[in-house]
């Protein structure tokens, strides 16, 4: 299964659907409304959308199947080699997960375009795996938290390094409009355990810039969720961005950032490939009122 969000017309309600490939192209098979799905995600995944013809993908708009009130917990410095390559290379490996937040409004879907903010030289890539939580958690053990994960997807934590590095707070640089593209969610039962190692690769214009395995994470998804749940209650529908491996652009010599027209691809074993194009924002020119009247 490949779980996506859809809108059938205009700004209609979001539904959760299964994206399928058929002999007549890709179709989406609706499963449930957004709120209904996350009230029993595991049950809906087990039942699926049934054996129906589906709706042509071209007839709907794909959107992230994310609740408006969901939280996106992101783990920084979660691969040892990434920690060693960046601004924190002289610091010890953190004893607990480094958590920062994304707003759900920054999330997007694949095959989209992200604009570089006006005061940034470019954007940096961060290929990752996103975990989707299907049950509430409070003061959970790592095993309990791991068992609450219902699916995984590809994710690109596109980052405005200028905004991120000007202060000790990362929030602004991590929330550029549309800078969190997500691939379809694949049920956890089909993916297996990230601790067994899934290959994560990122390419820029075809050149491989990141190549690692999820078994290199400092903190597992279960450990991260358990840690978060000791402070705040994790809710069904929340997400965890599990961190990026080494190979990011800002740590290279010379620095390499995504510029106008660059294509970045994040490929994760069993999850597929996520593609995003980065562009420089174009100025909007308008004629003075009455000039052509």
pLDDT tens, residue by residue, 81-91: 777 777 667 77
Closest CA to 229 of 142, 169, 103, 159: 142
Classify 243 as helix, strand or coil.
coil
> What is the DSSP secondary structure assignment for residue 288, as one 8-state letter?
P
What is the rounded CA–CA span in Å between residue 177 and residue 274? 17
Q: Is the model more confident about 10 or about 194?
A: 194
15, with CB counted inside 10 A (0-12, 13-18, 19+), is buried
What is the rounded CA–CA span in Å between residue 264 and residue 206? 8
Closest CA to 242 of 148, 109, 127, 124: 127
Please report, for residues 13, 17, 277, the alpha-carbon distance to residue 244 in angstroms, rounded to integers and kept in the order given: 33, 28, 19
Convert the pLDDT of each residue in 163-177 to its tens digit.
Answer: 999 998 999 999 999
Q: Is the distance from CB of 111 to CB of 26 less than 8 angstroms?
A: no
Residue owning tokens 């069904």:
236
Mean pLDDT, rounded, for 59-70: 97
Q: In the sheet that 262-268 helps form, which strands lie side by side, from edge to edge?
A: 112-116, 272-280, 262-268, 199-204, 207-213
Question: Is a pLDDT exceeding 50 seen at residue 256?
Answer: yes
Provide, rounded to the nearest whole percent, the portion of the chain with pLDDT above 90: 86
Convert the pLDDT of each residue in 174-220 to its tens digit.
Answer: 999 999 999 999 999 999 999 999 999 999 999 999 999 999 999 99
pLDDT band at 282 (very low <50, low <70, confident <90, very high): confident
The pLDDT of residue 38 is 98
Mean pLDDT, rounded, for 252-256: 95
What is the rounded CA–CA span in Å between residue 145 and residue 227? 9
pLDDT band at 293 (very low <50, low <70, confident <90, very high): very low
Domains and CATH numbers, the chain: 3-63 (no CATH), 72-280 (3.90.850.10)
Distant-in-sequence, close-in-space partners of 121: CB < 8 Å, separation ≥ 6? 162, 257
Question: Is a pLDDT exceeding 70 seen at residue 125?
Answer: yes
Q: Mean pLDDT over all residues of the chain?
A: 93
Rg (CA), the chain: 19
The pLDDT of residue 284 is 64
> What is the DSSP secondary structure assignment for residue 173, as one 8-state letter?
G
Beta-bridge mates of residue 182: 109, 155
Question: Is a pLDDT exceeding 90 seen at residue 283?
Answer: no
Widest distance between CA atoms in the chain: 70
Please report, for residues 61, 228, 229, the alpha-carbon distance to residue 141 in angstroms, rounded to integers and kept in the order given: 38, 11, 9
What is the rounded CA–CA span in Å between residue 272 and residue 186? 9
Mean pLDDT, rounded, for 101-117: 97
Convert the pLDDT of each residue in 136-148 to its tens digit.
Answer: 999 999 999 999 9
Question: Is a pLDDT exceeding 70 seen at residue 287?
Answer: no
The number of helices, as runs of H, and strands, as runs of E, in the chain is 7, 18
Provide, rounded to the nearest whole percent, the portion of the chain with pLDDT above 70: 95
Question: Is a pLDDT exceeding 80 seen at residue 76?
Answer: yes
The pLDDT of residue 87 is 67
Q: Is the model more confident about 242 or about 93?
A: 242
Mean pLDDT, rounded, for 233-252: 96
115, with CB counted inside 10 A (0-12, 13-18, 19+), is middle
DSSP state string for 204-219? ETTEEEEEEEGGGBSS
């Amino acid at each position: 299964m490949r779980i996506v969000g859809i809108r059938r017309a205009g700004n209609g309600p979001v539904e959760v659907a299964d994206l399928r490939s058929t002999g007549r192209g890709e179709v989406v098979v609706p499963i449930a409304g957004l709120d209904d799905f996350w009230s029993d995600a595991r049950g809906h995944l087990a039942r699926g959308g049934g054996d129906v013809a589906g709706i042509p993908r071209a007839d709907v708009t794909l959107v992230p199947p994310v609740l408006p009130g969901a939280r996106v917990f992101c783990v920084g410095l979660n691969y040892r080699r990434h920690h060693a390559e960046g601004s924190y290379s002289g610091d010890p490996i953190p004893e607990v997960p480094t958590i920062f937040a994304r707003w759900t409004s920054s999330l997007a879907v694949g095959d989209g375009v992200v604009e570089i903010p006006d005061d940034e030289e470019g954007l940096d890539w961060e290929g990752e795996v996103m975990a989707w939580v299907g049950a509430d958690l409070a003061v959970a053990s790592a095993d309990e938290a791991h068992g609450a994960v219902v699916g995984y997807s590809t994710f690109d934590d596109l980052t405005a390094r200028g905004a991120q590095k000007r202060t000790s707070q990362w929030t602004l640089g991590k929330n550029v409009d549309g800078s969190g593209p997500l691939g379809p969610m694949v049920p956890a039962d089909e993916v297996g355990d990230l601790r067994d190692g899934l290959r994560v690769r990122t390419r820029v214009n075809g050149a491989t810039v990141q190549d690692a395995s999820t078994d290199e994470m400092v903190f597992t998804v279960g450990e991260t969720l358990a840690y978060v749940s000791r402070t705040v209650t994790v809710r069904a529908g929340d997400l965890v961005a599990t961190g990026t491996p080494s190979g990011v652009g800002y740590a290279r010599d010379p620095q390499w950032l995504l510029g106008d027209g660059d294509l970045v691809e994040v490929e994760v074993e069993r999850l597929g490939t996520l593609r995003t194009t980065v562009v420089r924002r174009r100025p909007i020119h308008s004629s003075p009122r009455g000039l052509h009247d």
